[in-house]
Structure 1
Amino acid sequence: WSNARPQDFDLTTLGGGKSSGWPSFLGASIVLGNIHQFYQSNIAGKTNLSAIMNGPDFILFNDEAHNSPAEEYTATLQLIEKKVLLRIDTTATPDRADGRAPDSDMIYEYDVNDALADGLYL
């Protein structure tokens, strides 16, 4: 990996007019999608889920992880966990209004006060 260059990777996205399932995954080294694109409650989600479950093991970068307590989100994560080599969860809102926490451990926190103290302004 030390010699890898950006042009060595092929990125495909799910949605946005792109086809789902294997046609959009073939040849891609990076697949960008949202968890709802793998839900079993719709045909496209089932197709996408089947594609990743029948493909190679993968690393999951799970953004918006504060939503993981939701029923279908949790069910999908449980289905794919046997294919996941490493799961990294990220969220900008770890504290949910209902008090439920993501099903992962927080290893680093950087809040607005930290950003302001570091001189980062929007």
Structure 2
Amino acid sequence: MKTITTAPIFVTPVTTEKAYGQSQKNIYVFNVPLTANKQQIKNAVQSQYDVTIVTIKTLVQSGKAIRFSRGKNRYPGSTSRTDSKKAYVTLADGSSLNIFGVEETDKKATEEKK
């Protein structure tokens, strides 16, 4: 059998309000390359952040169609933005990432208030 060696991929966390809400449930969102599969994403997250992963869900967000014009009324056209891929990574209990700068004591304090 052939051994296939692949270049390591680099994943970047998404820091939006929706991603922050997901992180309260121990789910973290990452932007990943379009060519990456779940196993490569799992290896990249584990090596970069040293956490234990339970599940990974991926989705490809197709690029939004946009109109453009070069000049006032000439050469109208349309194109689309580039596609992007996101990975929703669920971590094991006891594992967490400090992406948003919120300490564990702040999380516990907000849970007690609810």
**More strand by percentage:** 2
Q: Larger Cα Rg: Structure 1 or Structure 2?
A: 2
**More helix by percentage:** 1
TM-score, scaled relative to structure 1: 0.22
